[in-house]
Structure 1
Amino acid sequence: METSPFVIERTYNVKPDRVWQAITDKDKMKEWYFDLKEFKPEIGFKFEFSGGSEEQQYLHLCEVTEVIPGKKLSHSWQYDGYPGESFVTWEIFDEGDKTRVKLTHTGLHTFPQNSKDFSRESFTAGWTHIVGISLKEYLEK
């Protein structure tokens, strides 16, 4: 069983504050991420959203666990009605005229392994699309 974290890094042609707003402002997040009813970058803030495959949608239950304004945001990631708990961390690095984003998702192995929706491949495809395409297109439009 693969227990190492999933990590993806991408560099965008924008300043860090634009990335920070994109990952912490619920109205901006709706444009490229998930349809969040509420979100605040505050430790202990709980939020939820639905997402998944075409066959099955899952209610995601999350709680903000770490905030370093402009630099780092971490939150738990669970599925309503399913065992397992994971953590997502967004890190922002100022690289002059560009910004590098590193997303780390740990604990994927804690989810049921008998469903392809919870497979490492599914998370890899999802995060690659979200970070590599959706966020990039939103930031650089």
Structure 2
Amino acid sequence: MLATVRKSDEGYIARFERTLRHSPEEVWSYLTDNDKLDRWFSELSVDELREGGFIKFDMRDGTFEKFEILELSMNSVLEYTWGEDRVRFEIHKEQEGCRLILIEKIARITSHTPKDLAGWHVCLMVIEALLDGKAIDRDEEWPLWHERYIRLIESEASV
């Protein structure tokens, strides 16, 4: 299921939602434990897991971009900057697992927006597969979802 994208006062909000058959603690570990984080987004690492701490993005050229952690509630909320945008993960306990919500607050739509949205979509697929003991190839899936997000953003921009 594609993310929903809607206009907001500050730009746009993309929202992804997944129901997982795993505990909030298990899901949280994939967002914050560097060994597990590396399995679904190898460029990211947690530098300091606290509000005001940082998530680092390895640019793969010897440099790193630092994203500040804006909100942190263990096993529940992780929000950090993402360039000009913000990324927020919310985990809500449910009877048979949890609901994982990813919200990207997008300042403005650019040609890179569908790439980011496809990336987050595939990352969520990979997290779910890893939790289920399976594997998904990010590089194989991404082009398929990228095309869908290009169409979604084009339709959103025409409204």
TM-score (norm 2): 0.68
Structure 1: gaps spanning 5 or more residues = 52-57, 79-84
Q: How many residues end up aligned between the 2 structures?
A: 122
Aligned to 1:26: 34
Structure-2 residue corresponding to 1:129: 122
Residues 1-141 of structure 1 mapped to structure 2, 5 A cutoff: 3-50=11-58, 60-78=65-83, 85-109=84-108, 113=110, 116=111, 118-119=112-113, 121-131=114-124, 133-141=125-133
Q: Measure, in 2, the Cα distance between the counterparts of 1:27 and 1:122.
A: 25
Q: Which amino acid aligns with 2:128?
A: K
Larger Rg: 2
* Conserved? CA contact 2:69–2:78, under 8 Å: yes
Q: Percent identity?
A: 24
Equivalent residues of 1:25, 1:40 under 8 A apart? no
Gaps of 5+ in 2: 1-6, 134-159
Distance 2:127 2:97 in 1: 14
The structure that is helix-richer by fraction is 2
TM (norm. structure 1) is 0.76
- Give the structure, 1 or 2, with the largest relative contact order (CA under 8 Å, sep 6 or more): 1
RMSD after superposition: 2.3
